[in-house]
Structure 1
Amino acid sequence: MAGTWSTQTELGAAHALTARQVGTHLAALGLKEGTRASESAVAQGLARDARLRDGTVFFVWHTERVTALLAGQGVTPAVPTAPTTSAPSSTPSAAASRRHDKVVATDGSALGNPGPTGWAWVDQTTGETGSGGLAHGTNNIGELLALREALHHAGPEGDLLVRADSQYVINIATRWAVGWRRRGWRKGDGKVPENLEIVQDILAALEARAGRTDFEWVRGHAGDEHNERADALANAAARAAHG
């Protein structure tokens, strides 16, 4: 089924909840039984199994459909979603173009998640692109690398709009990283944040910017030209890293 897939941890990050809290909501919806997705969830295409490299089986959830079901229970994403239209625009809105000197779309991809990983950015202002990959990583690592490299490309001057389909990454850039640093690079549960070195690089790049940096959430795989192009470049980079 078309769409993106998220682990329970990623769903939690998108909604500013722990994985356990998300699990409680999924169970209340009849989508989870114990540690496993319910047969009904699998039959409806809301969940499917995935495997780690060592063969361990875990479940991933259809991001868009499960997010909609959670919203029906009053559980909404931590980052407001952008309004959708029947024909998504292939260019930034006129208001965004007036407000920002540069607009960049970012995306990341991991084959198998975890697996060979790619990242990419597309400069909607100039048409330039950048991409790269690594032999092993996760979707979140790819998304974070895409943002870090997009910030390096944009440089410190001018007002910048970053358009990303990862609420996890937008939350890190706009909210969580500063709080983690305030607590000595610890999350609320006392654990060290995942992918800390990349997160620190992103925060340093953001704070070095003289211009304003804004973020816009874009629904993935919904026909946005620049998001689709970044996704294709990231997937190509992941395949190349796979060898």
Structure 2
Amino acid sequence: MSKHVTIYTDGACSGNPGVGGYGTILSYGEHQKELSAGFRKTTNNRMEMMAAIVGLQALKQPCKVSLYSDSKYLVDAMKQGWAKRWKANGWRRNKKEMAKNPDLWQQLLELCDRHQVEFFWVKGHAGHPENERCDALAVAASRQDELLVDEEYENVFGNSTKPLFE
């Protein structure tokens, strides 16, 4: 039987898009590990997804995972099968709209193929201790001096600090 790990996640963004971060807590028995990072330009949804991805990537072997997030976007897309449907449709939500964040959905789906993941929604900012801790980690990470580059986001949507015309 595979090990059962609980992962708590949260993303934060100051402005949307703006400076962001994620916080993740992995819990297995008596062991806990906290992960976080900040990005100079991203979106809240991307940080919510990154928190889940990083948590799943940290697992060294296939595990049974209970993943808790306050992001309806993340939880519903996975529980309702939307992300799988978007992928099957060439990352289209419907005939007119492209799915957002296909790079992260792809990573998340691959990780869910490796692990047995069940997603749970928790109400954010409602006193859930691990959710509050993940939020604190995400906000603190977004306020660091050295921020990472969300390359996919910046490559697709551009860096607003660059002039529009030369």
TM-score (norm 2): 0.79
Shift of 1:173: 2.4
Q: Which residue in 1 is equivalent to 2:26?
A: 123
1:110 maps to 2:24 = no
Assess, with a 3 A threshold, how the Cα gap between structure 1 residues 187 and 156 changes in structure 2: closer, same or farther: farther
Cα shift readout 1:122-180 (whole Å, capped 9, x = no counterpart): 11332210011110111101101101101101344221100100010112223211001
What one-letter code is carried by the residue in structure 1 that aligns with 2:19? P
Q: Distance in 2 between matches of 1:159 and 1:166?
A: 21
Pairwise CA RMSD = 1.9
1:203 maps to 2:109 = yes
- The structure richer in strand per residue is 2
What one-letter code is carried by the residue in structure 2 that aligns with 1:228? E
What one-letter code is carried by the residue in structure 1 that aligns with 2:42? G
1:166 maps to 2:71 = yes
> Which of 131, 140, 155 pairs up with 1:227?
131
Shift of 1:182: 1.4
Q: Which has the higher Rg, Structure 1 or Structure 2?
A: 1
> Structure 1 unaligned runs (5+)?
1-99
Conserved in 1, the CA contact under 8 Å of 2:62 and 2:114? Answer: no
Q: Distance in 1 between matches of 2:68 and 2:137?
A: 15
What one-letter code is carried by the residue in structure 1 that aligns with 2:66? L
Q: Distance in 1 between matches of 2:61 and 2:72?
A: 23
Shift of 1:120: 1.3
**Taking CA–CA contacts closer than 8 Å with sequence separation of 6 or more, which of the two structures ends up with the larger relative contact order?**
2
Q: Which residue in 1 is equivalent to 2:43?
A: 138
Q: Distance in 2 between matches of 1:156 and 1:170?
A: 23
SS of 2:143's partner is helix
Shift of 1:213: 1.1
Assess, with a 3 A threshold, how the Cα gap between structure 1 residues 148 and 105 changes in structure 2: closer, same or farther: same
Q: How many residues align?
A: 143
What one-letter code is carried by the residue in structure 2 that aligns with 1:102? V
Q: Distance in 1 between matches of 2:84 and 2:60?
A: 21
Q: Which residue in 2 is equivalent to 1:187?
A: 93
Q: Distance in 2 between matches of 1:218 and 1:155?
A: 26
What one-letter code is carried by the residue in structure 1 that aligns with 2:33? E
SS of 1:142's partner is helix
Q: Distance in 2 between matches of 1:116 and 1:241?
A: 11
